[in-house]
Amino acid sequence: MSARTTTPWPLVALFTAGYLAPYLLPTTVGRLSAGLPLSATEAGSIGSALLLSSATAGFLLASRVDRFGPRGLARAGLLLAAAGYGTAALTTTIPLVVLGAIVGGLGSGTITTVAATGIAGQRDPHRTTTLGLLGVSALAGALYLTIPHLGPGHGHPLAAIAVTALLVLPVTRRLPTAGTPEAPHTPAARTLRATPAPLPHRRAGLVLAAAMLCWSLAQNSLWGVSGRIGLQQAGLTEVTVGAVFAVALGAGLLGVIGAGALGPRLGRALPIGAGTALIAGCIALSAAATDLTSFATGEIAWNTVYPVVLSYVIGLAASLDRRGRWAVLVGSASSLGTACGPLAGSLLSARVGYPGMGVILALGLLLITAPMTAVALRTRRTAPLPQEHPVVEIPVVEIPVVEIPVVEIPVVEIPLDAVPAPRTAYDTAGPRQATAGAAAGPGSASR
């Protein structure tokens, strides 16, 4: 009988708070450019600095979550995010905005690291990742519908991230501290983290991390300039663009629900390989959009497939090391690609235009499809999916030793006063005794 699986809601909440900044990147960069005396490239550079700071935190903390404790690190990350993004939202001084974005990025990276490490220790990391993607997609979609109605200004998306961090802060009470065991539903994580071990699957992990860097770079190069494509090339209003983004993220919710229902039935290679090829086509279509129909079609199709592939990639990274180190390192490589995305998208679109940028990004995605699929195929043969063979930890129960007192039993001497038996009573058995008995006759027996 399988053990009951509980939902790690604190990890889902941390995942949502940590990934909200990248999900709001288009409106954040667009509002920085419109609300402050910044060019589009300068606003994209601030967005890149934010995400680069987030990736740096992930690289630095990848193997230190257990040492500092998930609860303490999560609280520190949430407070950094609230302070950094809050400062950037409340000021119009450019250096303070940049500093606040960097500090907030450090907080987001810390939050994401704690969430990724905890998710990797779950019996079913894909399910937990799916719930996290559902949370962040739903929240970002609601914010894309709300922010355009709050008036102009660069601070609204940044303030939304800061408020989310403060709202998630109370759930950290359910996280373990340094030196305490994990939650009861993660026995495998407790057992494996008890002793130090080298990083497994180094070649596969490095290939996946490098591919994920390029994968995220391509995604966020378009995502960082999607708002400008809708406003400038497709000729839409900010309200219409926000509505398209909200619908696209809603379609992403359906995609994530479908991925959660499908689970590991198709493995990881097919969703990652075929999904990345589909994303390449969606990026080319969205970048070439000139009206509402083509823009909405490209964005909605892209955002439907993107979180599905991302959930399987995160699950693949988690399967490489149940301690969560590869999950954090691959996630940090993804954040590094995400950080370079807005700047790369701005530079490419300035050089070759939006359609040319889409073609370049699509070709790059097709090139990295092969190594990502190869890693998924290789690990399928060497490492089972986490939920296929859960590790059950049998607790060792100490049985107390009961001392039984030794009682001295007195020896009682019994005197033998019996009359000695005659010698004939001990004669030997044989035919002679049988013949004598027969000669006596039946009538000689006593009653």
Other CB atoms within 10 Å distance of the CB of residue 90: 14
Rounded-to-integer distance, Cα 416 and Cα 418, Å = 6
Rounded-to-integer distance, Cα 40 and Cα 32, Å = 8
pLDDT score, position 437 = 44
Both tokens of 318, joined, read 């988690």
Q: Identify whether the C-beta of residue 126 lies closer than 8 Å to the C-beta of residue 264.
A: yes
Please work out, in degrees rounded to the nearest 5, the angle formed at the alpha carbon of residue 315 by the alpha carbons of 312 and 318.
155
**Mean pLDDT, 10 residues at a time, the chain of 447 residues:** 62 92 85 86 84 86 80 93 95 93 93 86 78 87 87 90 95 77 44 58 87 90 86 87 86 80 78 92 92 92 88 84 78 80 84 92 93 84 43 43 50 53 47 42 40
pLDDT score, position 169 = 93
pLDDT score, position 420 = 54
Q: Where are the alpha helices (DSSP H) in 202-324?
A: 202-223, 226-228, 238-262, 269-287, 292-320
pTM above 0.75, yes or no: no
Both tokens of 172, joined, read 């950290």
Both tokens of 203, joined, read 């070649």
pLDDT score, position 343 = 79
Rounded-to-integer distance, Cα 58 and Cα 17, Å = 15
> By three-state DSSP, how is residue 129 classified?
helix
pLDDT score, position 86 = 95
Rounded-to-integer distance, Cα 39 and Cα 25, Å = 16
pLDDT score, position 2 = 40
Both tokens of 209, joined, read 């991390």
pLDDT digits (tens, 9 = 90+) for 362-407: 999 999 999 999 988 887 654 444 443 444 344 444 444 444 455 5
> Which amino acid is it at 378?
R
Rounded-to-integer distance, Cα 127 and Cα 314, Å = 11
Q: Which of 272, 278, 263 is nearest to 377 (CA)?
A: 272
> By three-state DSSP, how is residue 196 classified?
coil
Rounded-to-integer distance, Cα 339 and Cα 149, Å = 28
Max Cα distance, the chain (Å): 141
How does DSSP classify residue 391?
Answer: P
| Helix 292-320, helix 238-262: angle, nearest 10 | 40
pLDDT digits (tens, 9 = 90+) for 87-137: 999 999 999 999 999 999 999 999 998 988 888 777 777 788 888 888 888
Other CB atoms within 10 Å distance of the CB of residue 382: 11
Q: Where are the alpha helices (DSSP H) in 36-154?
A: 40-61, 65-68, 70-90, 94-120, 125-146
Four-point Cα dihedral 38, 42, 48, 49, nearest 10? -80
> Which amino acid is it at 440?
A
Produce one character per residue of 223-256: b if its CB has 16 or more CB atoms within 10 Å, e if not.
bbbbbbbbbebbebebebbbbbbbbbbbbbbebb
Rounded-to-integer distance, Cα 129 and Cα 263, Å = 11
Q: Identify whether the C-beta of residue 48 lies closer than 8 Å to the C-beta of residue 342.
A: yes
**Exposed, middle or buried, 281 (CB in 10 Å: 0-12/13-18/19+)?**
middle
pLDDT score, position 395 = 44
pLDDT score, position 177 = 74
> By three-state DSSP, how is residue 61 classified?
helix
pLDDT score, position 78 = 95
Close Cβ partners of 390 (under 8 Å, ≥ 6 residues apart): 2, 3, 123, 188
Residue 315 C-alpha from the chain's centroid: 7
Rounded-to-integer distance, Cα 284 and Cα 222, Å = 9
H or E element that contains 360: helix 325-382
Rounded-to-integer distance, Cα 17 and Cα 13, Å = 6
